[in-house]
Amino acid sequence: MNNQEFSPQERAKQKAGYKAAEYVSNGMIIGLGTGSTVAFTMARLKERIETEGLSIHGVPTSIQTMIRATELGIPIIGLEQADKIDITIDGADQIDPKLRLIKGRGAAHVRERIIADASLHLIIVADSSKMYDTLSGPIPVEIIPFALSHVQKRLKKLGGKPNTREGVKKDGPVISDNGNIVLDYYPSERFDPIKLETEINMIPGVVSCGIFAEFASKTTVIIGDEEPKIITLLDLNQ
């Protein structure tokens, strides 16, 4: 697909993805997120490797990203091989004014959280449709299969509704790259992201939920436009 065939939303994603690639320099170890906007970043990194001789290594957050990076010729290493991750470039499903996120509609949020935590900086690429005044459901929750019924009961006690995410073109639930079940939790009312993130993640059997509230201080958000908009907490506090 060439640029003339892109929808306005796809062009915005491309602008954001390409802008994020400018933050990458020689020798960096890059966390590679999962999703359609990060795919544009990876495509631009491929171009820079071929035209500039850019030397980097990527740590993928999903099997899909690992396959895509390999096809593009981006050198891949495992998390255990990375002394540190300089920056991670990832997407988000929702972004609030305090740069708190909801992630996991692609069921990769557990690995994405690990890589984000291991990173010095987190760059979130998105189009303007991902900006929200307040975060809302559904909230992805990855759980170990043994704990399914228990976690469902505990989530209901929090006042919302958990739904097992059903697979597309397969029978049964969505299974993550980690072999776990993914639920979508619909809160019954407006929530405090930090409080609810803690409450969900503390339920035995939950691996991780899709609220990302703890990384805001090291997050830069790039919103795709003709001139991409760069947002950090420093900007918001001035």
Complete domains list, the chain, with CATH: 3-131+214-237 (3.40.50.1360), 139-209 (3.30.70.260)
- Please, which pLDDT band fits residue 4 given cuts at 50, 70 and 90? low
The DSSP bridge partners found for residue 139 are 185
Average pLDDT over residues 160-186: 92
Q: What is the pTM of this model?
A: 0.92
Average pLDDT for residues 171-176, to the nearest whole number?
Answer: 91
169 pLDDT more than 90: no
Q: How confident is the model at residue 5 (pLDDT cuts 50, 70, 90)?
A: confident
Tokens of 104: 């996991």
Catalytic residues: 112
Read off the pLDDT of each residue in 36-53 and give the average, rounded to a whole number: 95
> Is it the case that residue 155 has pLDDT exceeding 60?
yes
The answer to whether residues 103 and 109 touch, using CB atoms and an 8 Å cutoff, is yes
Tokens of 59: 């740590």
Give the DSSP H or E segment for 197.
Answer: helix 193-201
Q: How far is CA 44 from CA 50, 74, 224, in A?
A: 10, 11, 15
Tokens of 85: 């991750």
Question: pLDDT-based confidence at 14, cuts 50/70/90?
Answer: very high
Please tell me the predicted confidence (pLDDT) of residue 236: 55
Q: Tell me how far apart the alpha carbons of residues 168 and 181 are, in angstroms, rounded to a whole number.
A: 14
Q: Which amino acid appears at position 217 of this protein?
A: S
